[in-house]
Amino acid sequence: MPAGLVISAPASGVGKTTLTLALARAWRHRGLRVQCFKSGPDYIDPAFHAAATGRASVNVDSWAMDRATIEHLVSRGTDADIVLAEGSMGLFDGVAARGVSGTGATADIAEMLGWPVVLVIDPSGQAQTAAAIAAGLRDYRAGVRLAGVVLNRVASPRHEDLVRRALSDIGIAVFGALPRHAEISLPKRHLGLVQAEEQAEIGQLIDEAARFVSEHVDLGAVLRAAAAWSVQPAANGLNVTPPGQRIALARDAAFSFVYPHMLEAWRAAGAEISTFSPLADEAPDASADVCWLPGGYPELHAGKIAANARFRDGLRAFAETRPVHGECGGYMVLGTALTDADGISHEMTGLLGLETSFAKRRMHLGYRLVALAAPMPGHQVGARLRGHEFHYSTIVVQPDTPLAVVHDATGSVIAETGSWRGHATGTFFHLIAEDR
C-alpha cells in the first residue's frame, strides 16, 4: 500500500518545488516508485515532477474538482511506494468562497486524502518565531495533520540550533535543515519557473538537489511520517468533454500550458491528438476537425510567430471550415497584434480582432466560473465551465462578440469575457473542468 505526504509551506517562494523534486529523485535512486501531484492550477511544476520521477504528474484542485475526480486522478499513485503532493502558495491559501470541494487550498487536499504535511520553513531574519509560525499552521485546522518541518536557507549552525530547539519545545519534528545552496536554484520568469523542457541540464540540477537534500535531511524519517492510503477510482473518470474527435494541438516552448489531466481525459473519451509546432513554422494537421492553441509564452517568441508564414497561413485556412480555440497565450496569437515588453508590435494571425500588450504589464490572476454565451469546441451555449486565469497582458482592443459571462470565485463579474468570430474562439481563462 502506498504512503502519501503533502509538501507545503507558509508562503510561496520558500522552496517547496526544490524539496519535492529532491525527495522524489533521492527516493527514486533508492529504488522506490515515486508519484507526484500538484495542488492547484499550475502548468510548470508537473513537468518538473515528471522529470524527477519518470512518471506523469497531474493537478488536483479542490475549487474546480469534486472529490470523485480528485480520487480518480490520485488513483494513479496506488502502484507507487510514496506519493508526494506539492502545494501551492501557503498551506491554507485559497479563495474566499468555497468551490466544488474546497477553496483551492493545499490543506483541502491534505485533509481530504489524509496525507500528513511536511512544511518547508525559511527562517531567514528570524529564529524562535519560525516555531510560532509552524505551531500556528499545525493548530489552524483540526483535520490537517503536520508531520514535521524542513528548514531551508538557514544562516549558520547557531541559527539552526535556535530554531530546532524552539520547534522541539512545542513537539514539532525537524527532518532536516538546508543551508543556502545557489547551485540548486531553479530559474524563474514572469509566470513562474522556466519550464523543465527549456532547461537542458534539468536532470543534473535535480540530481544535485537530491544529493544536497540527502546530506541534510533524514529521508527515512520523512518516509516514515507518510500515511498509508488507498482509494477507489470513480467509475466515471473525469468529467471532461473533448473539443473534437481529432485535435490538432499546438505544442512547443510558446504553447505548452496544457493540464495533463485534460489531455488524458480527451484521449480516454476516444479523441486523437496530433501536435504541431508554430515555432517550427508548422501548420495544424489538415485531417483534424478542431485546432487548440494552449497558453504559454508567445510574448517571448512574438517576432518568430509573426514571421512564420506557413503556420499563420495554415491556421487561417484551417479556420475557414473548422473551429479553432485559443487559451490565454493561444488567444493572443489568434488576435490581430501582440505588443511585446519592448513596445514592439507583432502581427498575429488575425482570426480575431484582439490586440494585446505587454508594454504595460498588469497581473490578472484567479479562478473563473464561466457560462458560455456562444458555443466553443466541445461545449454548447449555456455550458458552465471552471477555469483559472493568470497572465500579465493588457487588452488594447477587443472588438468581437463576447464568448461568455465570467465570474471570479466570489461571484463578481469579470470584464474579460473571451470572444469569438467565425470559427475562432478564445478565452484568457484556462479550462480545468466542466461544472457539474
- Asked, for residue 169, whether it belongs to a domain, the answer is yes
Structural domain including 223 reads: 3-228
Q: What share of the chain is helix, strand, coil (3-state, %, to 5)?
A: 30, 30, 45
Q: Hey, what's the cell of 278?
A: 508554430
DSSP 388-434: EEEE--EEEE--SEE-EEEE-TTSPBPS---EEETTEEEESSEEEEE
pLDDT in the model for residue 200: 55
pLDDT in tens, 69-94: 999 999 999 999 999 999 999 999 99
Nearest to 430 by CA among 394, 386, 379: 386
- Asked, for residue 238, whether it belongs to a domain, the answer is no
Strands 419-421 and 394-397: unpaired
Say how many Å lie between the first and final Cα of the chain, rounded. Answer: 31
- Asked, for residue 241, whether it belongs to a domain, the answer is no
Residues recognised as catalytic: 328
CA–CA separation, 152 and 268 (whole Å): 41
Last residue within a domain, chosen from 196, 228, 260 = 228
pLDDT in tens, 274-283: 999 999 999 9
Q: Hey, what's the cell of 62?
A: 479542490
Q: Hey, what's the cell of 53?
A: 520521477
- Cβ atoms < 10 Å from Cβ of 354: 29
Amino acid at 367: Y
State the SS3 of 270-326.
Answer: CCEEEEECCCCCCCCCCCCCEEEECECCHHHCHHHHHHCHHHHHHHHHHHCCCCEEE
Nearest to 282 by CA among 256, 258, 248, 239: 248
Q: Hey, what's the cell of 6?
A: 503533502
Last residue within a domain, chosen from 187, 202, 228 = 228
Same domain, yes or no: 203 and 253: no
Same domain, yes or no: 191 and 71: yes
206-220 residues labelled b (16+ CB within 10 A) or e (exposed): bbbbbebbbebbbbe
Strand locations in 168-250 (E): 174-179, 188-189, 192-193, 227-228, 246-250
Same domain, yes or no: 294 and 192: no
- Asked, for residue 336, whether it belongs to a domain, the answer is yes
CA–CA separation, 208 and 221 (whole Å): 21
Same domain, yes or no: 77 and 127: yes
Domain holding 180: CATH number?
A: 3.40.50.300
Count of domains forming the chain: 2
pLDDT in the model for residue 76: 93
Amino acid at 12: S
Reading the chain (436 residues) residue by residue, the pLDDT tens digits are 799 999 999 999 999 999 999 999 999 999 999 999 999 999 889 999 999 999 999 999 999 999 999 999 999 999 999 999 999 999 999 999 999 999 999 999 999 999 999 999 999 999 999 999 999 999 999 999 999 999 999 999 999 999 999 999 999 999 999 998 755 565 553 444 455 455 557 888 899 999 999 999 999 999 999 999 887 666 566 778 999 999 999 999 999 999 999 999 999 999 999 999 999 999 999 999 999 999 999 999 999 999 999 999 999 999 999 999 999 999 999 999 999 999 999 999 999 999 999 998 888 899 999 999 999 999 999 999 999 999 999 999 999 999 999 999 999 999 999 999 999 999 999 999 998 7
- Asked, for residue 337, whether it belongs to a domain, the answer is yes
Nearest to 416 by CA among 432, 395, 433: 395
pLDDT in the model for residue 84: 98
Spatial contact of 287 and 318, defined as CB atoms under 8 Å apart = no
Helix (H, G, I), strand (E, B) or coil at 36: strand
DSSP state at residue 199? -
- Asked, for residue 240, whether it belongs to a domain, the answer is no
Domain holding 311: CATH number?
A: 3.40.50.880
Strand locations in 180-271 (E): 188-189, 192-193, 227-228, 246-250
CA–CA separation, 395 and 397 (whole Å): 6
- Cβ atoms < 10 Å from Cβ of 289: 18
Helix (H, G, I), strand (E, B) or coil at 385: strand
- Asked, for residue 235, whether it belongs to a domain, the answer is no
Which residues are paired to 426 by β-bridges?
A: 326, 419
